[in-house]
Amino acid sequence: MRKLIVALAVVVMCGGMTGCGYKTTVNTVSGINVYSSYEEKIPGRFALVVDSQPELLTKKVKASSFTCSAHNFPVALSNTFESSIYEATKSIFEEVATRVTIPSKEEMSKDELSGYILVKATHFEPKVTFIPGFFSGNVSTSADIGFEFSVRDRENKLILSSAVSASRSSDGEAGGACEGGATSLSEAISKAFREALERYAERVSNSTKLREAFDPPLLKQADVPQAARIIKK
């Protein structure tokens, strides 16, 4: 009964203002599993340019249900997107150097770069729904995230271009004042982003075209073609 009174008090208080916000924090995703048919990372030194689309990855998520509808859950994923892409990329390339802009041919030659990787966020759809209960309710959240990427050599020739996305969900307790929505949403986003990163890393690592372009003489596939292994870090 006490939780119900507290929740009602918060709803009334928030309803009289612009709403209560619970910041949703998502940490850098690292330590992903990369299943590859190749034993080694892609050789060479590559520039990594990440277009995190801050306006796309910044959301003030509102509950889609009447319950807790006065609340919002702000998410700013841009910095996490950049750092997570870097962590995933360095797990599959021998050497990675971050850049703000695409390097010119002169810069790539000067810095002895083999090529560059461009990653751009394409969509981000987080959702929060609260399910009322007698004493306390539950919350169900989901997240859909995607990005596109390309790899070019030092002559700006396109070697690989693709896109990945993933959708995941998370359920939990709503909390006495709907604060549980932020925790559940953070989990859903993290799980979706991790899955998308693993798809990205596996697609790049298993690209024969990419490996032939940067390391023709040292191409090393697994002894058993069907076997997948976790790439060395």
Q: Give the model confidence (pLDDT) of 93-124 as tens digits.
A: 999 999 999 999 999 999 999 999 999 999 99
Q: Is the pLDDT of residue 76 over 80?
A: yes
Can you read off the two tokens belonging to residue 121? 């966020």
Mean pLDDT of the chain: 87
Assign domain 2-227 to its CATH architecture.
3-Layer(aba) Sandwich (3.40)
Residue ranges of the domains in the chain?
2-227
Query: Using one digit for the tens of pLDDT, what is the confidence trace for 183-224?
Result: 999 999 999 999 999 999 999 999 999 999 997 654 444 443
How sure is the predictor about 19, in pLDDT bands with cuts at 50, 70 and 90?
low
Q: What percent of the chain has pLDDT over 90?
A: 74
